[in-house]
Amino acid sequence: VGRSVAFYQDALGIPLLFAQDVIHGWRTVFPVPLAEAASFNPAAVEGAARIAAVEASGYGIHWTFAPMVDVARDPRWGRVVEGAGEDPHLGSVMAAARVRGFQGTDLSAANTLLATPKHFAAYGAAEGGRDYNTADVSERTLWEVYLPPFEAAVAAGAGSIMAGFNDIGGTPAHGSRWLLTDVLRGRWGFKGLVVSDWTGVEELLRHGIAATREEAAVRALEAGVDIEMSSDLYRTDLPAAVRAGRVTSALIDSAVLRVLRAKQALGLFEDPYRYSDTTRERRVTLTPEHRAAARALAREAIVLLKNQTRPSGAPTLPLPKNLGSIAVIGTLAVDSASALGSWSGAGRSEDVITLLEGVRRAAGARTRVLHTRGAPVDTIDARGFADAERLARTADAVVLVLGERADMSAEAASRASLELPGAQLALAQRVVRAARAVNPDKPIVALLMNGRPLALQWLADSVPAVLETWFLGVEHGNAAADVLFGDYSPSGRLPVTFPRVTGQVPIHYGHRPTGRPPAENEHYTSKYIDVSWTPLWPFGYGLSYTSFAYVNLQLSADSARAADSIVVAVEVTNTGPRQGDEVVQLYIHDDAASVARPVRALKGFRRITLRAGERQKVEFTLRADDLALYDRTMRKVVEPGTFTVFVGGSSEGGLEGQFRVSGDTLVVAAAPPRLQ
| Residues of this chain, 372-401, that bind ligand BGC according to CB under 6 A | none
Q: Which residue's CB is nearer to ligand BGC, number 199 or number 331?
A: 199
Shortest CA distance to 24 belongs to which of 50, 62, 60, 58?
50
Is 123:137 a contact under the CB 8 Å cutoff? Answer: no
CA angle 340, 341, 344 (to 5 degrees): 65
Which one-letter amino acid corresponds to residue 271? D
Q: Which residue's CB is nearer to ligand BGC, number 21 or number 36?
A: 21
Of the residues 21, 74, 87, 197, only one is catalytic, namely 197
Q: What x-and-dash track marks residues 305-334 binding ligand BGC by CB under 6 A?
A: ------------------------------
- Provide, rounded to whole angstroms, the least separation between the CB of residue 325 and ligand BGC: 44
Say whether residue 132 binds ligand BGC (CB under 6 A): no
The CA dihedral of 302, 305, 310, 315, to the nearest 10 degrees, is 40
Q: Which residue's CB is nearer to ligand BGC, number 277 or number 411?
A: 411
With CB under 6 A as the contact rule, the residue among 65, 275, 485, 548 that binds ligand BGC is 65
Shortest CA distance to 425 belongs to which of 472, 393, 461, 470?
461
Q: Which residue's CB is nearer to ligand BGC, number 411 or number 564?
A: 411
Q: Which residue's CB is nearer to ligand BGC, number 144 or number 197?
A: 197
- Provide, rounded to whole angstroms, the least separation between the CB of residue 424 and ligand BGC: 29
Could you give the count of Cα atoms lying within 13 Å of 228 in the half-sphere of its Cβ? 26
DSSP letter at 144 equals I
Q: Which residue's CB is nearer to ligand BGC, number 193 or number 583?
A: 193
Q: Which residue's CB is nearer to ligand BGC, number 65 or number 385?
A: 65
| Whole-angstrom distance, CA of residue 296 vs CA of residue 290 | 10
With CB under 6 A as the contact rule, the residue among 141, 155, 198, 315 that binds ligand BGC is 198
- Provide, rounded to whole angstroms, the least separation between the CB of residue 345 and ligand BGC: 12
Which one-letter amino acid corresponds to residue 256? V
Positive or negative torsion for Cα 354, 359, 362, 368 = negative
Paired with 583 in beta bridges are: 607
- Provide, rounded to whole angstroms, the least separation between the CB of residue 65 and ligand BGC: 3
| Residues of this chain, 407-426, that bind ligand BGC according to CB under 6 A | 411
Say whether residue 21 binds ligand BGC (CB under 6 A): yes
- Provide, rounded to whole angstroms, the least separation between the CB of residue 270 and ligand BGC: 28
Cα–chain center distance at 196: 22
Among the residues of 123-277, which ranges form H helices? 139-141, 148-155, 177, 203-207, 213-223, 233-243, 249-265
Contacts of residue 405, Cβ cutoff 8 Å, sequence gap at least 6: 332, 335, 337, 338, 377, 378
The CA dihedral of 538, 39, 33, 25, to the nearest 10 degrees, is -170
How far are the Cα atoms of 74, 75, 499, 626 from residue 531, in angstroms, in the given order? Answer: 18, 18, 11, 35
- Provide, rounded to whole angstroms, the least separation between the CB of residue 301 and ligand BGC: 21
| Whole-angstrom distance, CA of residue 403 vs CA of residue 353 | 18
Q: How many amino acids of this chain bind ligand BGC (CB under 6 A)?
A: 6
- Provide, rounded to whole angstroms, the least separation between the CB of residue 137 and ligand BGC: 19
Q: Active-site residue 197, yes or no?
A: yes
Positive or negative torsion for Cα 271, 277, 279, 285 = positive
The values of phi and psi at residue 585, to 5°, are -120, 140
Paired with 195 in beta bridges are: 162, 227
Q: Which residue's CB is nearer to ligand BGC, number 64 or number 111?
A: 64
- Provide, rounded to whole angstroms, the least separation between the CB of residue 172 and ligand BGC: 14
- Provide, rounded to whole angstroms, the least separation between the CB of residue 21 and ligand BGC: 5
Shortest CA distance to 95 belongs to which of 119, 61, 123?
119
Q: Which residue's CB is nearer to ligand BGC, number 407 or number 411?
A: 411
- Provide, rounded to whole angstroms, the least separation between the CB of residue 118 and ligand BGC: 6
With CB under 6 A as the contact rule, the residue among 46, 74, 86, 197 that binds ligand BGC is 197
| Whole-angstrom distance, CA of residue 152 vs CA of residue 289 | 29
Shortest CA distance to 114 belongs to which of 284, 258, 319?
258
DSSP letter at 652 equals S
Say whether residue 202 binds ligand BGC (CB under 6 A): no
Q: Which residue is nearest to ligand BGC (CB)?
A: 65
Q: Which residue's CB is nearer to ligand BGC, number 57 or number 367?
A: 57
| DSSP-derived 3-state class of residue 517 | coil
The values of phi and psi at residue 632, to 5°, are -65, -20
- Provide, rounded to whole angstroms, the least separation between the CB of residue 164 and ligand BGC: 8
Is 285:434 a contact under the CB 8 Å cutoff? Answer: no
Q: What x-and-dash track marks residues 102-131 binding ligand BGC by CB under 6 A?
A: ----------------x-------------
Cα–chain center distance at 177: 28
| Whole-angstrom distance, CA of residue 107 vs CA of residue 118 | 19
Among the residues of 156-248, which ranges form H helices? 177, 203-207, 213-223, 233-243
Q: Which residue's CB is nearer to ligand BGC, number 343 or number 488?
A: 343
| Residues of this chain, 611-650, that bind ligand BGC according to CB under 6 A | none
Positions in the binding site for ligand BGC (CB under 6 A): 21, 65, 118, 197-198, 411
List the catalytic residues: 197
